Amino acid sequence: MGNGDGIFRFRDGIAIAQIVVFSISFWYALHFRWERKIGWFCIGFFSILRVVGAGCMVGTVKHDSKGLWTGVFVCESLGILLLIFTLLEMMETINKVVHTVHKWTFIIPQILTWIDIGISIGGYVTVAKKESGQLDPTPWSRASTAVMVAIVLYTVGVYVYFWLCRNKFAREEGWIIICVGVCVPLLLVRTAYSLIFVITADRTWNAVKGSPAPYLVMTFLPELAFIVACTFTIRNISPMAVVEQRKQDQKAGEDEQCLRDMA
């Protein structure tokens, strides 16, 4: 990371890589939006956060400004929730075709997310008033991380249930649940990185000014693999219009079977 001295460091190299790869994923998100496919908002917004955050990080090489560091902090703080909602959206798509869980299953995480956002805003206001130790964990950040971990564990639980019901899914839904299964361990690694810092207060694990090696292994690479897996899967599944048609066909088939059973 930079400190205004003009020296390009390892963390800045990671930031350059983030700008490149997440610019590509943003292009794919626009493509998904055009084709009316799932995931375009979460992948697109996540890509924007990473590109902007990385751009701010590169900017600190020559300008050690509070505004740039704030940009890095905010962008790093928000990304993980979008990864979670990408997986939930994929499982909700399965649920639209093959009814597996109640619709409230996907509303509960949204409620928890709004709680987390409220806590995060309160924490940011508190930290902004501090003159030193602004990156250290606070009761606000610990509460926010606890809510985030709860959402992650909830998402893992939903995935496990869907995986146990996978025999009901058609081939396309099977691809989606396999993708979610690939992404869940990556999400857990990324969550562990944030959790370690909040528990230990060791700045080695800080995403803004911590050691670049843990950030590379537990944040950048897992996030990259996550986005690649989701992008590849979404690119090869049907648009929402086709999903809705398959949902109608599925319901028609169930109604027809019900009439046969009654006869």
**pTM for the full predicted model:** 0.88
Q: Convert the pLDDT of each residue in 17-38 to its tens digit.
A: 999 999 999 999 999 999 999 9
Q: Which residue has the tokens 């300008």?
A: 63
Tokens of residue 12, six digits: 């800045």
pLDDT at residue 65 in the model: 81
Radius of gyration of the chain (CA): 21
pLDDT at residue 107 in the model: 93
Residue 60 corresponds to which amino acid? T
Q: What b/e string do you get for 139-168 counting C-beta neighbours within 10 Å, with b at 16 or more?
A: ebbbbbbebbbebbebbbebbeebeeeeee
> Residue 237 sits in which domain range?
83-262
Flag whether 6 is in a domain. Answer: no
Flag whether 187 is in a domain. Answer: yes
Length of the chain: 263
DSSP label at residue 144: H
pLDDT at residue 2 in the model: 57
Torsion of CA 185, 187, 188, 191, to 10 degrees: 160
Q: Cα angle at 129 between 123 and 130, to 5 degrees?
A: 90
Q: What is the mean pLDDT of each run of 10 residues along the chain (263 residues)?
A: 74 94 97 93 95 93 82 85 94 91 92 84 69 73 90 96 93 94 96 92 87 94 97 89 64 56 57
Phi-psi region for residue 22, left (φ > 0), alpha (ψ -120 to 50) or beta? alpha
Residue 227, C-beta contacts closer than 8 angstroms, at least 6 positions apart: 21, 22, 25, 43, 46, 47
Residue 220 corresponds to which amino acid? F
Flag whether 76 is in a domain. Answer: no
pLDDT at residue 259 in the model: 53
Tokens of residue 21, six digits: 């790869």
Flag whether 193 is in a domain. Answer: yes
Residues 98 and 168 sit within 8 Å (Cβ to Cβ): yes
Rounded CA-CA distance 81/37 in Å is: 20
Flag whether 172 is in a domain. Answer: yes
Q: What b/e string do you get for 34-49 counting C-beta neighbours within 10 Å, with b at 16 or more?
A: eeebbbbebbbbbbbb
Number of domains in the chain: 1
Flag whether 43 is in a domain. Answer: no
Q: Cα angle at 28 between 9 and 182, to 5 degrees?
A: 80
Flag whether 28 is in a domain. Answer: no
Flag whether 73 is in a domain. Answer: no
